[in-house]
Amino acid sequence: MRESVLKYSSGAVKATLAKGERTLLRGVSFSLEEGESLALIGETGSGKTMTALSIMRLLPRGIRQEGGEALFLGEELPDTEGMRSILGSGIVYIPQSGAEALAPLRRLRFQLRDGLMKNGFPREKAWARSLELLSLVGFDEPERILGSYPFELSGGMAQRVVMALAACAEARLVIADEPTNGLDREATAAWFGLARKLFPSAAIIVITHDISVAGLCDRAAVLCGGVLCESGPAGKLLADPAHPYTRALIAALPANGMTETPRLRSGGSDCPFYGRCPEASEACEGEIPEIRLAGRSCRCAMVQTLSR
């Protein structure tokens, strides 16, 4: 049996604003076992980055979490202070912009050496391991890269160095924020191949606005307005989406030739997709129940059952 790496439930994540309180996440939950990958999908503002921040206990000032849990390898993750020793070792985060993740005025050999030493690697072996990691992420001249500053790298090169830095740890959970943004199909597949090579048994969460990326993951979770609309095995979710929002995201893919769903109506429902949903009815005006079956879940008033 595979080990459970993450069992997450958001509870309610709320922001205190000048105009009052706003709920940013409610009832988002999923779990991941070793070696599994999850695409966390949604538009800008859907709550996917907030979900990652809440797992890492890095919610910004003014945002608080009520309830919920984040069990990492069976144990509740500590508070922000306690996370210092876990982030960069058991859990690694790969940000969207490689360049922003690197210290701008520090040669890369020192950044990789520090990453390795933080994870117990002996100083005298750090140079050889750094060369090895840079070769693994596809650099032909790793010595030259180790002698460089971040500003001497292109965006793509910086992203690969960040992957090498992440691989300094033997992470059990990898969270990557829009790692395939702007990449074509082939480069996207290459990113996944590299991630699996660097983190063979880790659970991987890929944050993305592109639902087609789910095709390269084991599981998918679709967020809209801070609510988990649908989740399940990625292949099933793409081939047989149950939720109207999932269907709208698939229809909006460039390959399917459609544009964004227009706004059709205002407020009046617990469902965050109500304003744009072409399938809304009176049934959507109350509380929306979640149904679960065979590893799938869906929160929509019009969905009574899920296929296996």
The answer to whether residue 228 forms part of the interface with ligand SF4 (CB under 6 A) is no
With b meaning 16 or more CB within 10 Å and e meaning fewer, what string describes 74-100?
eeebeeeeebeebbbbbbbbbbbebbe
For the chain, helix (H) and strand (E) counts, in that order, are: 10, 15
Residue 161 makes CB contacts below 8 A (sequence gap 6+) with 98, 102, 108, 134, 137, 145, 150, 153
Which position among 24, 198, 284, 306 is part of the footprint of ligand SF4 (CB under 6 A)? 284
The answer to whether residue 273 forms part of the interface with ligand SF4 (CB under 6 A) is yes
Only one of the segments 140-148, 152-160, 200-208, 270-278 lies at the binding site for ligand SF4 (rule: CB under 6 A); that segment is 270-278
What's the number of CA atoms in the CB half-sphere (13 Å) around residue 201? 7
Q: Cβ closer to ligand SF4: 103 or 258?
A: 258
The DSSP letter of residue 71 is E
What's the number of CA atoms in the CB half-sphere (13 Å) around residue 64? 6
The answer to whether residue 244 forms part of the interface with ligand SF4 (CB under 6 A) is yes
The answer to whether residue 248 forms part of the interface with ligand SF4 (CB under 6 A) is no
The answer to whether residue 167 forms part of the interface with ligand SF4 (CB under 6 A) is no
The answer to whether residue 227 forms part of the interface with ligand SF4 (CB under 6 A) is no
Which position among 271, 296, 297, 306 is part of the footprint of ligand SF4 (CB under 6 A)? 271
The answer to whether residue 133 forms part of the interface with ligand SF4 (CB under 6 A) is no
Site residue total, ligand SF4 (CB under 6 A): 14
Minimum separation from the CB atom of position 40 to ligand SF4 (A): 19
In the shown chain, the binding pattern of residues 172 to 191 toward ligand SF4, with x for contact by CB under 6 A and - for none, equals --------------------
The answer to whether residue 203 forms part of the interface with ligand SF4 (CB under 6 A) is no
Which position among 277, 296, 297, 306 is part of the footprint of ligand SF4 (CB under 6 A)? 277
Residue 193: exposure state from Cβ atoms within 10 A (0-12, 13-18, ≥19): exposed
Minimum separation from the CB atom of position 229 to ligand SF4 (A): 7
Query: How far, rounded to the nearest angstrom, does the alpha carbon of residue 90 sit from its chain's CA centroid?
Result: 16
Task: Report the C-alpha gap between 236 and 248 in whole angstroms.
Answer: 16
The answer to whether residue 42 forms part of the interface with ligand SF4 (CB under 6 A) is no
Which residues would be at the binding site for ligand SF4 (CB under 6 A)? 244-245, 269, 271, 273-274, 277, 279-280, 284, 288, 300-302
